[in-house]
Amino acid sequence: MPGMGHSLRAAALLAFVVLSILVSLLISSVQQFGAGIYHFSNATVAGDEEEFASLRGALIYQLNQRRKEIIPLLLLDREETWESFYQRDQTQDSPLDYSLWNEITHGSRKAHMDEMDCQSLVDMQAVEVLGSGYTKLVVKVNLAGGQPVALKLVNEQGIDMGKCVEDFKDPRGCRELVSYKLKKEIVLLQRLQHPNVIKLKGHCAGDAGGEGGKVTVILEQGNPLQMIQLLQSPWEDRFRVCLDLVRLLHFLSQSPLGSVALLDFQPRQFVTVSGELKLTDLDDASAEETSCQTHADCTLQFPHRNFTLPCSAQGVCEGLNEKRNIYNAYRYFFTYLLPHQAPPGFTHLVDHIMNSTGELKADINHTLEAFEHILLLYKSGLHLDNLPPSIIRDYTVMRGMGTSGDTEYRCWPSYSQQGCLLSVHSAREAAFICNSHSQCNSFTLTGQKTWTGRLLASFRSSFSHLVPDGTSEVYVKKTKAPETSTV
């Protein structure tokens, strides 16, 4: 569709304009912030004026530090350096446009970005709390229209909030300070859009309910990644999680922000949406490069392994962020999910991936190539070329039929708890599997497909009736075919 590219470009341009405005507003408000905080602080602190002034000064300092963390994430041009950015900032002396700043921090941007806003949250129903941490609370909700979303809010009972109030005695200022983590996440989610990053649906910020500085991030809803459950899933599903992760890391290695490292790399930072892996926590994403003088400055330390990377002529550790991500993917995901029960045709390819990622021998491009190669083989069935074609001649096929009154047996790892339901590339692979199960005398290609497009086949010992079923095919072993009758 030619119109598609056009509207994508228009959307990109719009995002660019909004980000430009955000940058200049943030810079101006960093400079003018001191004036604003006075208004709400004088009410809460009575007593020693001097102590009060110093507390306030310290909080303002913290707030400004947080703002400064966000500004580089809004840099519009990858080529732009910190120096040139700040030089430009100093020469620019535009007055602060409060109406626009308010529109962004307190109000709606729906008109510009087609996003959800505070209005979308009216009459929502909370379903469950998905998690609560030092900083944030994540809640599953259904919006008034029934749409499920996840909300991230400041955790009022969290450690960050508690410590800040203890230090600065200013709940409102603290809420604003803690909210910066959410604001940073909003900016990161806008800049790092990818199928394997959770989708930002909008946000609500403002003085609703008299609680200033409050920010709510509205996200697509996912299911927390359950490693235990995943360990018991078919290899195809475990491979999918690893492939999605590698696709994500490939994107992060050359993102609009540069090469991004995930500093807190844990399965709990991820969710799945319809089986697709998505990074949901961007708190600890960092695009900072490590500067160095010698190779020894470029050491990656892990509990059981240390690696030393090259220090480039420009004085930065080459590929440090990328390699950190790869090794974390290896130790938290691949070791658990990939080798176990890999299809026989892939074991050497999987072993190769395990070794090259576990030893950090491959960069993310080569790792992605290796994964995509496996996917291609898996989809095309090329890895099954050594199965004898004659194998299928042992079976009688009945098309447009299903079975009832099945005597099932269980196999592992099955897509169904009761029987033996596995994915196959073709009837030939199913016949090969049936021959290798002593209890198997017939199988059905159900017409359902897995995410790779492979067919779901159900294997059984026997059945009592054939029933018409337009989408499926029944294969019965010729030698040991049980008595059957058509209904």
In angstroms, the CA 298 to CA 318 distance is 8
Query: Binding pattern to ligand NAG, positions 1-40, x when CB under 6 A?
Result: ----------------------------------------
Strand 395-404 to strand 261-262: parallel, antiparallel, or no bridges (unpaired)? Answer: unpaired
Question: Number of residues in contact with ligand NAG, rule: CB under 6 A?
Answer: 13
**Of the two residues 332 and 409, which places its CB atom closer to ligand NAG in the complex?**
332
Cβ proximity to ligand NAG, 357 vs 484, nearer residue: 357
Contacts with ligand NAG, 138-167, as mask; x by CB under 6 A: ------------------------------
Q: Which of 43, 122, 313, 487 binds ligand NAG (CB under 6 A)?
A: 43
**In whole angstroms, what is the distance from residue 94 CA to residue 101 CA?**
13
Smaller CB distance to ligand NAG: residue 79 or 483? 79
Minimal CA–CA distance to 192: which of 118, 112, 133, 249?
249
Cα-based angle 374, 375, 376 (whole degrees, multiple of 5): 90
- Residue with the CB atom nearest ligand NAG in the bound state: 358
Which of 48, 77, 167, 264 does the annotation list as catalytic?
A: 264
In whole angstroms, how close is the CB of 360 to ligand NAG at the nearest point?
9
- With vertex at residue 185, the alpha carbon angle to CA 108 and CA 238, rounded to the nearest 5 degrees, is 120
x/- map, 331-370, ligand NAG, by CB under 6 A: -----------------------xx--xx---x-x-----
- Contact between 294 and ligand NAG by CB under 6 A: the answer reads no
Q: From residue 229 to residue 268, what is the string marking binding to ligand NAG with x (rule CB under 6 A)?
A: -------------------------x--------------
Q: Is 306 in the site for ligand NAG (CB under 6 A)?
A: yes
Cα–Cα–Cα angle for 449, 455, 457, rounded to 5 degrees: 120
Q: Is 226 in the site for ligand NAG (CB under 6 A)?
A: no
Q: What are the b/e assignments for 27-58, b being 16+ CB within 10 Å?
A: bbbbeeeeeebeeebeeebeeeeeebeebbee
Task: Give the largest CA-CA distance in the chain.
Answer: 96
Judged by CB under 6 A, the residue of 91, 274, 301, 486 near ligand NAG is 301
284 assigned to active site: no
293 or 301, CB closer to ligand NAG?
Answer: 301
* 125-132/136-142 β-pairing: antiparallel
Q: State which residue, 38 or 86, has the beta carbon closest to ligand NAG.
A: 38
Distance CA 133, CA 26 (A): 27
Give the residue with the Cβ less far from ligand NAG, 39 or 228. 39
Minimum Å distance from CB 157 to ligand NAG? Answer: 27
State the CB neighbour count (10 A cutoff) for residue 334.
24
Alpha-carbon distance of 38 to 433, in angstroms, equals 74
Of the pair 51, 351, the CB lying nearest ligand NAG is at 351
Sequence-distant (6+) residues with CB within 8 A of 12 are none
Q: Residue 42 or 92: which CB sits closer to ligand NAG?
A: 42
The footprint of ligand NAG (CB under 6 A) covers 42-43, 254, 301, 304-306, 354-355, 358-359, 363, 365
Catalytic residue numbers?
Answer: 264
